[in-house]
Structure 1
């Protein structure tokens, strides 16, 4: 009997440890393009904050950005150069137009994150300025919405 209590106790501790390691999302990352077709990352935080963003593919970091002040609402930066308080950290790796990439927002203290977005340069080629590619809610993939809706309606649906 003691053995089972010990096993169940260990299992419960492991489960609690696993769930406490996840960083809760407090917002969403999207991507749009500027008038020249350059990728612009947009962030809308609904609760909490983020301090940076990372672009990766297959567990390989291709780019990292840090922001001068924590983002608690809307923010944006150019993927290739940063801006608006965002600075590129280290070298940016080139992107293959055929590959899928993931970008997500994070906080240095792991208290908050912004939901990740999977996209390719091919996805970006179909975007127009003012249209944002955002992650689908509660399923894989992405969808488009206006930048205005991204800024004003993202947090309405936040639960």
Structure 2
């Protein structure tokens, strides 16, 4: 996903970052670091596999609407447990189970496409090493022109996302 996406003639602006954590049972939890404005929902998608219809590069796996906008002031309490969402989140559309061996991408968005949070890539296989409170993100390494997985506390994640 690019740092900016086009919607009509407007550019969607970054409002923060998305990370992935786990609950006490090891299930994926989407977390946000909001630096400005808000997000209204979250989506997980994956690359198309051979079993998917042709013409799609990616497949939306799950999508949620936030009961109230997630803002910088509410981001720390707005985590989204993908297996057992709180009443702060409402599932929208179908739900494809997350499967080992596939790469997923999660991000936050606004209904009017004015803001988004930078995405996080993850695979279920890699989440087993995470402990609750730890956040997986990707960090750009200029020397190798590549992104590497980074695990840090939520406080570090939020601080670096908005630095």
TM score, norm. by length of structure 2: 0.77
Q: Which structure has the greater CA radius of gyration?
A: 1
Alignment of 1:1-159 (within 5 A): 20-58=9-47, 59-73=58-72, 74=75, 75-83=78-86, 85-137=88-140, 139-155=146-162, 157=163
State how far apart, in whole Å, the 2-side matches of 1:90 and 1:126 are. 30
User: Size of the alignment, in residue pairs?
Assistant: 140
- Partner residue of 1:11? none
TM-superposed CA distance for 1:116, in Å, is 0.6
TM score, norm. by length of structure 1: 0.79
Is contact 1:132-1:146 (8 Å) kept?
A: yes
Name whichever structure is richer in helix by fraction.
1
Coordinate RMSD, CA, aligned: 2.1
Q: Secondary structure at the match of 2:126?
A: helix
TM-superposed CA distance for 1:106, in Å, is 0.6
Q: Secondary structure at the match of 2:97?
A: coil
Q: Gapped runs of 5+ residues in structure 2?
A: 1-5, 48-57
Q: Secondary structure at the match of 2:31?
A: strand
Is contact 1:118-1:141 (8 Å) kept?
A: no
TM-superposed CA distance for 1:154, in Å, is 2.9
State how far apart, in whole Å, the 2-side matches of 1:151 and 1:77 are. 16
Name whichever structure is richer in strand by fraction.
2
Q: Gapped runs of 5+ residues in structure 1?
A: 1-16
State how far apart, in whole Å, the 1-side matches of 2:60 and 2:27 are. 20
Question: Which structure has the higher relative contact order (CA within 8 Å, separation 6+)?
Answer: 2
